[in-house]
Chains A and B, each alone.
Chain A
Amino acid sequence: MRGRGASTKVMAAGTALEPLSADSAEDIAAQEFARIVESHRPQIFRFLLASLRDVDLAETLTQECFLKAHRNWSHFRGDSSAMTWLMRIAINLQKDYWRNRRMQFWRQTRTNAVDLDEASEWLPNGERSAEQQILAKEQVAQVWQAVKGLSERQRTVFLLRYVEERELSEIAAATGLSEGTVKAHLSRAVGRVRAELRGTR
Chain B
Amino acid sequence: MNREQNMAGESPQMDMELEQALKHFKSSVDAWSYAVSTDAAGSRPRTAAKLAVRHSWRMAAGWALGCLLAAGSLTVAGHEIYHRQQLAKLAAQKAAEQRAAAGRATAQPTSAQPVSAQSDQKAPAATVRKVGVGNEDSARSQDSARGQDDNLLAAVDSDVSRQVPAAMEPLAQLMDDNGTQ
Q: Do A and B come from one complex?
A: yes
Main secondary structure of the interface of B (DSSP, over half): helix
CA A48 to CA B22, docked complex, whole Å: 18
The distance in angstroms between the C-alpha atoms of A41 and B34, with both chains bound, is 11
- Chain A's closest residue to B55 (CB) is A112
The CA-CA distance from A161 to B102 in the complex, in Å, is 96
Other-chain residue from B18, B24, B30 in contact with A190 (beta carbon distance below 8 A): B18
Q: Are B27 and A124 in contact (CB under 8 A)?
A: yes
Bound together, the chains give a CA A162 to CA B27 distance in angstroms of 10
Q: Is A142 at the interface (CB under 8 A from chain B)?
A: yes
Contact A49 B29 (CB under 8 A): yes
Encode B15-58 as 1/0 by CB contact (under 8 A) with A. 00110111011111111111111000000001100110000000
- Bound form: Cα–Cα A118–B51 in Å: 10
Do B6 and A42 have beta carbons less than 8 Å apart? no
A122 to B37: give the CA distance in the assembly, Å: 14
Contacting pair B37 A42 (CB below 8 A): yes
| Selected contact of A194 from candidates B18, B25, B32, B36, CB within 8 Å | B18
C-alpha spacing A168/B1, complex, angstroms: 7
We find that the number of chain A residues with CB closer than 8 angstroms to chain B is: 35
A66 within 8 A of B: no
CB of A186 within 8 A of CB of B24, answer: no
- Contacting residue for B6 out of A49, A122, A143, A190, CB 8 A: A190
Bound-complex Cα distance A123 to B6 (A): 26
**Contact digits for A18-47, partner B, Cβ 8 Å, 1 yes 0 no:** 000000000000000000000001100110
| Contact between chains at B10 and A194 (CB < 8 Å) | yes
A177 within 8 A of partner (CB): no
Can you report 28 residue pairs joining A to B where beta carbons are below 8 Å apart?
A45-B37, A49-B29, A49-B33, A118-B47, A118-B50, A120-B28, A121-B47, A122-B29, A122-B32, A123-B28, A124-B28, A136-B28, A139-B17, A139-B20, A140-B21, A140-B28, A143-B24, A144-B25, A162-B22, A162-B25, A162-B26, A163-B25, A163-B29, A163-B30, A187-B1, A197-B17, A197-B21, A198-B14
Where the two chains meet, the residues of B that have a C-beta atom closer than 8 Å to any C-beta of A are 1, 6-7, 10, 14, 17-18, 20-22, 24-37, 46-47, 50-51
